[in-house]
Structure 1
């Protein structure tokens, strides 16, 4: 298995989708392309990788001396063992790319809905792209303030 090629493929898919999110008008067609051809394709790739690796259909290119991975061993040692292969790293990276892109798309929609300009959105989206949870956390802090400003002041919810 050429893990470098799969790694490159997932990065290209993510970069194209992020570029669309940052630079293109956010009409329904663009957002659907980002969701299905970006997030969806990354999720499908992740699914194919995890099933193929779990079934033993792919050579994960494990580090010498690394024991076989146990996909149900959710502790530090088990996860370290899972990532002791090119396949495990590519699988994990694909997971990050898919979820960061999904969160970025949600933040973009939320920011548009709350009236944030595209220029203001860019730093949050770039932070989500580079350090996902950090960018999302900062967005949550900022959006809360805007949401409070937009909330009705007469106590009625709409």
Structure 2
């Protein structure tokens, strides 16, 4: 497996989905496309890569000994080869895009301007938890104004 090609593919999928989410009208079909052709596709690629690596069906392409989630050294070992980086990056892209879709839907439901949403979505794309934190702060007054926290 060429992990560089996979890395480039998932970046392209994410970039198209984020571009659509930020720039295009949010018709139900577009939101479904971001969910299933963006997020679900990234999740499928992640799952296939992870299962392939764990089962030994896909080569790691470098050292992977001592990999685990319980120590810093173990996590470093996961990312010590191209396979770990590509699969880990796909994980980030899928979750950040999921959060971005939630922010967009939540913002539209709370009638928060798309001009205000756009930089927050960009921040979520670039630095996921930072964008989410900003959104949680921004959405609070709108949620209270609507008399609910959903």
Contact 2:64/2:81 (<8 A) preserved: no
Q: Give unpaired runs (5+ residues) of structure 2.
A: none
Q: Report what 2:41 is aligned to.
A: 41
Larger radius of gyration: 1
The two structures, once aligned, show a CA RMSD in angstroms of: 1.6
Distance 2:77 2:9 in 1: 24
Q: Is the partner of 1:57 in helix, strand or coil? A: coil
CA positional deviation for 1:135 = 0.5
After TM superposition, the score normalised by the length of structure 1 is 0.89
1:17 aligns with 2:14: no
What residue number does 1:5 align with? 5
Q: Which residue of 1 aligns with 2:116?
A: 120
Query: Is the counterpart of residue 110 in structure 1 residue 136 in structure 2?
Result: no
Moved >4 Å (runs of 4+) = none
Per-residue deviation, 1:78? 1.0
**Paired residue for 1:93?**
89
Paired position in structure 2 for 1:150: 146
Between the two proteins, the alignment pairs up a number of residues equal to: 149
- String of CA shifts for 1:127-147, please: whole Å, max 9, x gaps: 000000001011001101221
